[in-house]
Structure 1
Amino acid sequence: MHLSANEGIEGVRFAVTGGQGFVGAALCLELLRRGAREVRSLDLRASSSWSQQLLDAGVRTIQGDIRNKDDVGRAFRGVDCVFHLASYGMSGKEMVQTGRSDEVNINGTCNVLDACHEQGVRRLVYVSTYNVVFGGKPIVNGNEALPYFPIEDHVDAYGRSKSVAEQLVLKSNGRPAKSDKSTRLYTCAIRPAAIYGPGEERHLPRILSLAKLGLAFFKIGGPDVKTDWLYIDNLVLALILASMGLLDDIPDRKGTPVAAGQAYFICDGSPCNTFEFIIKPLFQSLGYSVPQVRLDTSVALAISRMFLFISTLFYPWLDSKWMPEPLILPAEVYKVGVTHYFSFLKAREELGYVPMVRPHEGLAATISYWQERKRRELDGPTIFTWLAVTIGMLAVFSAACLPPVGPLKWVLDIHLFVFRSMLVIRLVLVIAIALHFGEAVYAWFLAKKVDPRNATGWFWQTFALGFFSLRYLLKRARG
């Protein structure tokens, strides 16, 4: 396909579902940069970390739910092309919420298709997933000829519901508009690899939060396991090329648009081991411990099923903020522990897709982003240090101040064995509190110079942990 860089974009109205997210926001901004007449973002969220950028660029942000037909119809009125990115259940606790995944990914997509039909939308690009064909069995250099993975065999609701939705989208290709039978809706699906880049919200934040807590213990799968990754700029390029591939008014092009009714795998084109390419250099650059112990995929699956069972028990409370994310779930084990990578040859030949950012460039930009983000945040020790110091301080306080009843008698006996008298125990408590308070005050004054936005946080963290917190601030001050 040989078209100008902005064919089908200049002077055109677009709608992007999920436009407040990482990919959606990047796509909205790029469409406007290329000369789109109007870009509308439909998102359940009223705001996100991208909101100000979208507002400044002139994106029309609409708060709405794709599960609500009226919201979708309102957003699509007068639009020529829709990018359907909104989804649910990709990672973490969301993966366990099967009902909502079906509501958003299947019912929501039906609403999108109906709104396109009613509003006379001409082009629909659907963002799908590798998981429509991958379900845990190795795939080497796969292509679009692969059959859909059996619906009943999916280990998560996300893969299953996205597969159903993609098939609905592709089967709707060529559907006439409600008010004008000569206007047809042309559809295609983009199947992206795992997405990364500065600001990515799904994969890396969860991995790095575990690393910060000291809970990233294991590598999963062998060193020869390879998977695909996709840098954000490359995905945005592929989405725009897909929209061009649905144009039906190109001179010298006869018949159905080249991308109509088609699906395309999109990746950076460099299969790699996730732990070696992404996790190891990222952890090292941020000063986190790199996992050394390697878990066999079968063992990791057994552990992930345990977390799935526990999460299922707490199903009614999964939306609660106090409910932690499961450490890992079965679909995530397959994602990093089983080889599966695909060719983007079809996208290159039919859409003209060639990755514009190389993997090492994308990784360098991602690392720089996380290094800067870490410099802006409160740093500190692992959860094990928190537990050790907190339990230790509570134990000394219990021995010094509380009546020795029940288990507290054992606590007192241990302290008397170590410190010999109640007087010494109480002196130890007073000295410990005084030291922590003094270190906290020093941390507050130092943070006012080197990290003023987090000065209060440094005070309280150092008051709780003492030098175990202060040493991180001193390191920041030195460097």
Structure 2
Amino acid sequence: MAVRENEGIKGNRFVVTGGLGFVGSALCLELLKRGAAEVRSVDTRAYSPWYQHLQKNGVRCIRGDVTQKKDMEKALQGVNCVFHLASYGMSSKEMLQTGLIEEVNVNGTCNVLDVCHEIGIRRFVYVSTYNVVFGGKEIINGNESLPYYPIDEHVDPYGRIMSTAEQLVLKSNGRPSEKQSDVHLHTCAIRPAAIYGPGEERYFSRILSLGQIGLLFVRVGDASVKTDWVYVDNLVQALILASVGLLDDISGREGNPIAAGQAYFISDGSPVNTFDSIISPLFKSLD
């Protein structure tokens, strides 16, 4: 499949839900850098550390909630592709709010999908999680052929609910637009490893806070246990490649995009022991 640089990006309009977040903001800026005609960041927050930088560089910041379909109807008009990053409940005290996790991750995702179908958007890239196949049992050299982890065996509601949401996204692949029967929505799912990079807002601030008050003195798990991580720029590139893989007018694949209906694990390709390779060096560098 021959694809020109920035094909499907240059001159197109995009929505990034959760666009004021760590990954969302990086994605918005990269889309503009590659020649997008318009990038809209849709987020429930009115402000974030990246807000001014996004606006300064031309990102249109819209305050909207994926759980409110009317918000999505306004935000998605006239766009060519949706990157759905908005989610809730991955870590910390959020993990205890099962109702809200389901409302955002399932109902919110359904709202975005429904609006895409109604107005004829062709591409939908969903940011999922490797937890859809993981429930605490060791996986060695796993790949996309792994089955979904049994719904009733997940150790936390986030993994179970995200699994449901991802399956809804992939089952929506190929569904025709309500207004144009010859226009179909093509979907795919990206399953990132643990994400790191400048400005990361979930893990490291909490790890440092625990370290400062002396609560990080026990290693969890065997020293041989390794985990995948992904640098934010690598993840952004994967998201953009996924959107290109959903184009349905590429020579040789007309109407049958290579990424349509697929799920992809994304990592740096170098699993490490989190304590030895990340936490310990971090603490040493900060004395």
* Runs of 4 or more above 6 Å deviation: none
Give me the whole-angstrom Cα distance separating, in 2, the residues matched to 1:213 and 1:198. 24
Q: Which residue of 1 aligns with 2:231?
A: 231
Give me the whole-angstrom Cα distance separating, in 1, the residues matched to 2:218 and 2:199. 25
Q: Which residue of 2 aligns with 1:24?
A: 24
Q: Tell me the TM-score normalised to structure 1 length.
A: 0.59
Shift of residue 4 of structure 1? 2.0
Give 3-state SS (helix, strand or coil) of 1:264's partner. strand
Give me the whole-angstrom Cα distance separating, in 1, the residues matched to 2:115 and 2:42. 13
Give me the whole-angstrom Cα distance separating, in 1, the residues matched to 2:215 and 2:5. 46
Q: 1:271 to 1:164 in 2, by over 3 A?
A: same
1:48 maps to 2:48 = yes
Which segment drifts farther, 278-287 or 251-260?
251-260
Give me the whole-angstrom Cα distance separating, in 1, the residues matched to 2:141 and 2:4. 30
Deviation sequence 1:4-35 (CA, Å, 0-9, x none): 22010000000000000000000000000000
Shift of residue 205 of structure 1? 1.4
Shift of residue 253 of structure 1? 2.5
What amino acid sits opposite 1:223 in the alignment?
A: A
Q: Which residue of 2 aligns with 1:86?
A: 86
Residues 194 and 230 of structure 2 are in contact (CA less than 8 Å); yes or no, is this contact kept in structure 1? yes
Deviation sequence 1:368-422 (CA, Å, 0-9, x none): xxxxxxxxxxxxxxxxxxxxxxxxxxxxxxxxxxxxxxxxxxxxxxxxxxxxxxx
Give me the whole-angstrom Cα distance separating, in 2, the residues matched to 1:3 and 1:278. 37
Q: Which residue of 1 aligns with 2:6?
A: 6
Give me the whole-angstrom Cα distance separating, in 1, the residues matched to 2:2 and 2:239. 16
Shift of residue 255 of structure 1? 4.3
List gaps (5 residues or longer) in structure 1: 288-479
Q: Which residue of 1 aligns with 2:76?
A: 76
Residues 249 and 255 of structure 2 are in contact (CA less than 8 Å); yes or no, is this contact kept in structure 1? no
Give 3-state SS (helix, strand or coil) of 2:185's partner. strand
Give me the whole-angstrom Cα distance separating, in 1, the residues matched to 2:133 and 2:225. 18
What amino acid sits opposite 1:92 in the alignment?
A: S
Give me the whole-angstrom Cα distance separating, in 2, the residues matched to 1:226 and 1:103. 33
Give 3-state SS (helix, strand or coil) of 2:88's partner. coil
Give me the whole-angstrom Cα distance separating, in 2, the residues matched to 1:189 and 1:171. 11
Q: Which residue of 2 aligns with 1:259?
A: 259
Q: Which residue of 1 aligns with 2:171?
A: 171
Shift of residue 259 of structure 1? 0.2
Shift of residue 276 of structure 1? 0.8
Give me the whole-angstrom Cα distance separating, in 1, the residues matched to 2:255 and 2:21. 35
Instruction: Report 1:5-404 matches (<5 A).
Output: 5-287=5-287
Shift of residue 135 of structure 1? 0.3
Shift of residue 250 of structure 1? 1.3
Shift of residue 254 of structure 1? 3.7
Shift of residue 118 of structure 1? 1.2
Matched positions, count: 287
What amino acid sits opposite 2:196 in the alignment?
A: Y
Q: 1:2 to 1:207 in 2, by over 3 A?
A: farther
Give me the whole-angstrom Cα distance separating, in 1, the residues matched to 2:89 and 2:119. 28
Q: Tell me the TM-score normalised to structure 2 length.
A: 0.98
List gaps (5 residues or longer) in structure 2: none
Residues 43 and 62 of structure 2 are in contact (CA less than 8 Å); yes or no, is this contact kept in structure 1? yes
Give 3-state SS (helix, strand or coil) of 1:275's partner. helix
Give me the whole-angstrom Cα distance separating, in 2, the residues matched to 1:2 and 1:46. 41
Q: Which residue of 2 aligns with 1:406?
A: none
Give 3-state SS (helix, strand or coil) of 1:124's partner. strand
Q: Which has the larger radius of gyration?
A: 1
